[in-house]
Amino acid sequence: MAQNFAHGNYSHTQRKVRNGGGGRTPKDRARRTLSQNFLADRHAVDLMVKAAAPEGLVLEPGAGEGVLTLALAEAGARVVGYEIDPLLAGRLAARTRSDPRIDVVRGDFTAARAPHEPFAVVGNIPYSITSKIVDWCLRAPALTSATLLTQREYARKRSGDYGRWSLVTVESWPWFHWRLGDTIGRESFRPVPSVDSAILRLQRRPEPLVSDRGSYQELVELGFGGVGGSVRASLKTRYEGVDAALKAAGVARDTVVAHVHPDQWIILWGRLCG
């Protein structure tokens, strides 16, 4: 069943479109503008479904041609697929009209209201708006998990696979566990992108690891503020007992902020704010 929602100026698009066709067809140029790279590998689809373990309500950003949509429904989920391309949305809606497990929304996922009931997000998402989709997921109170096929570099950065941790991950760590899943090679997509992808999994924790969001995020944001070049120098501008807290967390005095593991931040919060 198709739904047509007005979502203002939000868009699953890359605003900059290179001049010239370069031999591409109008359809190819439209796919590039909308950052469309469709899954064309059944094994990759199976890996996504396995990682997501879908059940109950699942929202899918960028449903596209519906390959993942149908697989999620077949696995037992009730799927709401969001697709901003009206042609693709219409085709998918017509294809699934008689399937009670699937609804198709013609509109932008990032402008949608989050459901009040527990739900998951699963999608092969456009590289150009990955951060917008992740931010949307982190803000949704009823979200249980997000299983996202993203640019591999992004997935590695957010999951600490480079040995460094980002502010987004550390700030949300008491509420969400981030995990890097399988790599999906670029050859699994049509058209073929210039980089590989990977599955990024966000799982909401049963109970938060800290009792006060405000004081934890204030601590982390100060640490990432860059004062003095080390986490110690940054924290000492506001907190007492920093050296003892660092020792308890196993953090060396000269450690730069990106090398502090999220679990160590939990210990620092407990010592300095808890």
108 annotated ligand-binding residue: yes
19 annotated ligand-binding residue: no
Decide the pairing of beta strands 119-124 and 2-4.
unpaired
Q: From residue 210, how far is each of 36, 214, 273 by CA, in Å?
A: 39, 10, 10
171 annotated ligand-binding residue: no
Q: For the chain, how big is the Rg over CA atoms in Å?
A: 21
**Which residues are 236's β-sheet partners?**
none
DSSP 55: -
Alpha helix (H) residue ranges in the chain: 26-33, 42-52, 67-74, 86-95, 130-139, 152-158, 167-172, 213-223, 231-235, 242-249, 262-272
3-state secondary structure at position 56 = strand
The four Cα atoms 46, 47, 48, 53 give a dihedral, to 10 degrees, of 80
**Token pair for residue 177?**
């566990």
Element (H, E) at 197: strand 197-204
The CA distance from 135 to 152, in Å, is 18
Q: How many CB atoms lie within 10 A of CB 148?
A: 27
The CA distance from 149 to 29, in Å, is 22
The binding site consists of 37, 39, 62, 83, 108, 124
The binding site for S-adenosyl-L-methionine consists of 37, 39, 62, 83, 108, 124
